[in-house]
Structure 1
Amino acid sequence: MARLQADRHRPPARHVLIYLVRHGETVWNQAGRQQGQLDSPLTAKGVEQARAAGRFLQRILPEELDVVLETSPLGRARATAELVAVELHIGDRDIRSSPLLMEHALGAWEGLTYTEIDDRFPGARQAREADKWHYVVDGGESYALASERARRWLAGCTAPLTVAVTHEMMSRAIQGAYASLSPAETLARSHPQDRLYRLDGGKIAEMVIAQR
């Protein structure tokens, strides 16, 4: 009975709603270059994708909740977040930056196409595919390490409503950590640039961004 009384006085768990946004298309996306934690600017298409994401969010977000807008500090994500912020009427100074949202580091592969990787590091891509969860590119990180970052970010995500601008591989890791997916299930996730992912109640919902 004493324990029941104590439970009655325990504050209820706060409901946390998260929307994951991937940065808009970049010059290196177009060229097929691995970005990792290097950077390239948004294309004109990428700018419009970011604006469309902001407009879509402005229509669907619950009006009764204040929005926390958080972004990876990498330039392509920051530029996307600033465009989203305009549509959500959030000032640039109110955009939070978290290194935990940075893209999965690809070390020596960053800036290279798959052809260039194969020329410089013969057999490396095949070795990575054989154990993608644990493989570490020289100077980079494994998906297992990226998943740990994702868990740390989620643990600190306590606001009732957060919009997070991140990257495809990191979004994959966040989705996997959030829903307690296996490594294989996590690696099977994706994040196209015309999608948002809503994380709510332990479930993940994919949302197609309406362009107008």
Structure 2
Amino acid sequence: MTPITLSHRLFLVRHGETDWNREGRLQGGQDIPLNALGREQAAEAAGRLRDLVQGYDGLDFIGSPMQRARETMEILRHQLGLPPKEYRTDERLKELTFGKWEGFTWREVRKAERELALVRERDKWNFVPPGGESYKMLAERVRPVLEGLSRETVLVSHGGVARAVLALIGEVSPGEAAMVDIWQGKILMISSGKAAWV
């Protein structure tokens, strides 16, 4: 995979917590709203961004069109004193889909489909769940979004998308990217080819 070099800083925010996150359920393509903690995390992310950026006029704001990402973006923008709904969405920033596994916990998946779960453990990056998509497929749809960024950008999306971004910029190998923890309420700042949590 040829790494992407971003010419401007990228502030990547994972959506805040949902009840399904709390329960350990695979959300994927399911449109689950934020819970109370998730809304607090979105406000925390705004505070972190305020410490990193002087003025917001030059920033681009783009996000996943899924409800949990939109809610996070709108809370973040409101906290920054910006019109909450004045941002772009892009379908390519939707979460990795888990197909027929969505709604289940990993424990339930391992119990119901033990062999497939073991195959996934051996190669998470390339594994395609039944009716779903792999991290490799996700990275292929996210790549053109990153390549199209032309200024400092706040991107609100999902854990899977953040993992794909880390692989696309060459911060970690694809295999490692599929295993990285992606935090809610924090910002993954990407600058000069390096990523750091702030």
User: TM-score, normalising length from structure 2?
Assistant: 0.90
In structure 1, distance between residues paired with 2:45 and 2:140: 27
Instruction: Work out whether 1:35 is the aligned partner of 2:27.
Output: yes
Identify if the C-alpha distance between structure 1 residues 23 and 58 changes in structure 2 by more than 3 Å, giving closer, same or farther. Answer: same
Does residue 17 of structure 1 match 2:12? Answer: no
* 1:195 correspondence with 2:186: yes
Q: For 1:152-167, what aligned pairs fall within 5 Å after superposition?
A: 152-158=144-150, 160-167=151-158
Q: Give, in whole Å, the separation in 2 of the partners of 1:78 and 1:62.
A: 23
Identity, % of aligned pairs?
36
Deviates further, 192-201 or 56-65: 56-65
Matched, 1:172 2:169: no
Residues 93 and 41 of structure 1: CA distance in aligned 2, closer, same or farther (over 3 Å): closer
Equivalent in the alignment of 2:38: 46
Letter in 1 for 2:196: A
Q: What is the CA-CA distance between 1:64 and the residue it aligns to?
A: 7.3
Q: Which has the larger radius of gyration?
A: 1
Shift of 1:187: 2.3
Q: 2:128 aligns with which of 124, 136, 149?
A: 136
The structural deviation recorded for 1:65 is 5.4
Q: Is the 8 A contact 2:48 2:186 kept in 1?
A: no
Q: Which amino acid aligns with 1:168?
A: G
Give the AA of the match of 1:164.
Answer: L
For 1:96 and 1:195, locate their aligned partners in 2 and report how far apart those are by CA, in whole Å.
Answer: 21
Question: Any runs of at least 4 consecutive aligned residues in structure 1 with deviations exceeding 6 A, and if so which?
Answer: none
- Between 84-93 and 66-75, the greater mean CA deviation after superposition: 84-93
Q: 1:167-193 CA distances to partner (integer Å, 9 max, x unpaired)? A: 111101112102364222322432111
Counterpart position of 1:210? none
Q: Does 1:110 align with 2:107?
A: no
Q: Which has the higher contact order (CA 8 A, sep 6+)?
A: 2
Task: Say whether the 8 Å CA contact 1:20–1:165 is kept in structure 2.
Answer: yes
Report the TM-score when normalising by structure 1.
0.84
SS of equivalent to 2:162:
helix
Does the 8 Å contact 1:36/1:104 carry over to 2?
Answer: yes
Residues 100-153 of structure 1: CA distance to partner in whole angstroms, max 9, x if unpaired?
Answer: 211111111111112332343232211111221211011111111111122121
Tell me the residue number matched to 2:61.
Answer: 69
Cα separation, 2, equivalents of 1:201 and 1:142: 27
The alpha-carbon distance between structure 1 residues 15 and 62, as it changes in their structure 2 partners (threshold 3 A), is farther
Deviates more, 1:181-190 or 1:101-110: 181-190
